[in-house]
Every structure is written in structure tokens, then in C-alpha cells.
Amino acid sequence: MSLLTRAFKVGDEVFIGITNDEMASASRTKLLPFEERKAGIEAYVSKFNKPYTIKAIDDLYGQAAELDLDAIIVSKPKISEAELINERRENAGLKPLDIIVMPLILADDGLPLSATRVVEKQVDTRGHLLRAVRVNVGSKNPVKMEAVRSIFQEVYNEVDVKAYEVSHGGPAQPKDGEVLNGAVERARLAIVQRKADFGIGIEAGLIHNKEMDTTFDVQYCAIIDRTGRITLGHGPGFVYPPMVLRGVEDGNEVGKVMDLNFGDQGWNKKDGAVGFLSKGYMDRTGLTEEAVIAALIPRISQDLYEL
């Protein structure tokens, strides 16, 4: 309905084309009859108090290729079809239409919200899935699993989270660009493990800030959906003691250096290095949750982000 709302906002009079039953059934398994679809649109647009015309169309061009119109409003995937309509109009000696592009509205699974999906009872009219959101995590680390489950339950309510140990080919101790690349590759490998809505990759590593000449431990999160769209985020960074960084510079992994220096002090329990170093003010589950939230922001406020 966002296309209709936009049309009535910018236009003095609106022409609405609805595919007839024969054309619509060619690409849909479930379909409301034309008259029902027309009645639903009429009920919606009557509130705008502007003149409109509704006609059945039986091909790509409809009457937009021949009527005296000023603009056409389409979603992003339909831009090429609007351009074809303009080609036909120019061939007929008519002025081309201004193409107004509307961003896609996505359902909770990252796929476009459409009337077809509502009719097929995949989602409700607000885009909420009528089943649990399926989430794959590219790691069997229980901290990562719990962080993803916790945040996704808050955002999507009902979730089904599964863990998969994936081999992304990255180094044992990722640094700088390797950290983000590792998170993205984990997400890509995770989503293909089953028919999931989201694949989640989480990777921690050392990021050197040149301006501050300081190395931070930063955790990245990558979220990929079934359309291939990736959103990214990271949690807060913290600095290791000099003895740890010196050990890493000598070619060791952070975990091994921490074991060597603090092995009997519980650093590697559930609170992790950040819990040990912060003396309990933060634990690694909270650190991971921050990264997951950051990567979800473009999905939580998706109307503000270009799709």
C-alpha cells in the first residue's frame, strides 16, 4: 500500500492498474479474484479524497504506455519495467513518465512484503512471520549462540536458532580487515546449512587504530538474509595489557597468551577476557550482544535505510 499512499500524495489524480486473474495466476500459486483485490484497494484509497481510476491490465505495459500521464510509481525491482513503458511511450510520440522509485518494505525474514505473501499466510500485513524466525549461527560457541538467541528473541519474539561449526579459512588470530571478512564469511556459510531466514557470523580480533596508535579487541557481527543483503555492526573495543599484545606480536594467539599469563585465574570461563580484565563490569555475552544489536539496526529501522 506504500505505492498507493505515495501516488495520492504526489498526484492530483491517480490511475491504478491491477493485473487480471489470468496474468496474475501465471506467477502466483494463491490468488484473490480480481474483484476482491479491486474492492480492497478501493476501500484503502477512498480515504484520500482524490479522483482515481482502477483498470484491469493483461500485460506488462497496461495503459501506462498510452494514457496522458505524468509519472509512474514503482518499487526498486520494477525500475526496468517502467523504463520499458517509457520506451514504448516515446515510440508512440508520448512524453516519458517521471519514474518515482519507492524503497522495498521487508518482512521479518528480509524478503519483500507483498500481498501474495499475505494471501499465502507466510506473513501478516505488518510483515511479521507466521512462524518462528529461523536463524543459523556460524559457530557452536555457546556464548555466541546465547547472545544471538537473546537479541533475536527481543526483536522477533519467536525464533529458532541453530549453530553450525563452519570453516571460513581465516587465520586463528584475525587482525584488522580479517576480522570483518571472517564475520561475513561465517554468515554466508551459516545460512546455507538449512532453509534459514538469517545467517549470523561473529568474529573477534585485533583492530589497530592508526590515529591513536592503539590496538583494540573488537567483535564484528554480520547478518545475511535470503535476499543476500548483509548488515554489519560491531561492539565496543577494549585494550589488552601490554604483555598480551607483546605476545601476539611474537606470533601467538590472544587466547594462548592469556592462558600463559592468567591461566589459573579464570579468565577463560564464561565471562571471558573482557570479564576478567574489567573485573566483572562486562562479560563476553554482553559484548557479543552489543555487536548483534549494532548489525540489526538497519533491519530494526529499515524504513530509514536504502534498500
pLDDT of residue 172: 85
Start and end residues for every CATH 3.90.950.10 domain found in the chain: 135-304
pLDDT at 304: 83
Cβ atoms of 244 and 216 closer than 8 Å: no
CATH class entry, domain 2-104: alpha beta
pLDDT in tens, the chain (307 residues): 678 888 888 888 999 888 887 877 766 666 778 888 888 888 888 889 899 888 888 877 777 888 888 999 988 878 999 999 999 999 989 999 999 988 878 888 877 887 778 877 888 888 888 989 999 999 999 999 999 999 999 999 899 999 999 987 788 889 999 999 999 999 999 999 988 999 999 999 999 999 999 999 999 999 999 889 999 999 999 999 999 999 988 888 888 888 888 876 555 556 788 988 999 899 989 999 999 999 999 998 887 886 5
pTM, two decimals, is 0.75
pLDDT score recorded for residue 265:
59
Q: Where in the chain is the domain with CATH 3.40.50.620?
A: 2-104
- HSE-up of 290 (CA within 13 Å, CB side)? 12
| CATH fold of the domain at 135-304 | Maf protein (3.90.950)
Reading the block at residue 169, the C-alpha cell is 579459512
pLDDT the model gives residue 55: 86
Assigned C-alpha cell, 73: 510509481
Query: Grid coordinates in use for 45?
Result: 484509497
Q: How far is CA 254 from CA 78, 245, 247, 298, in A?
A: 50, 8, 8, 32
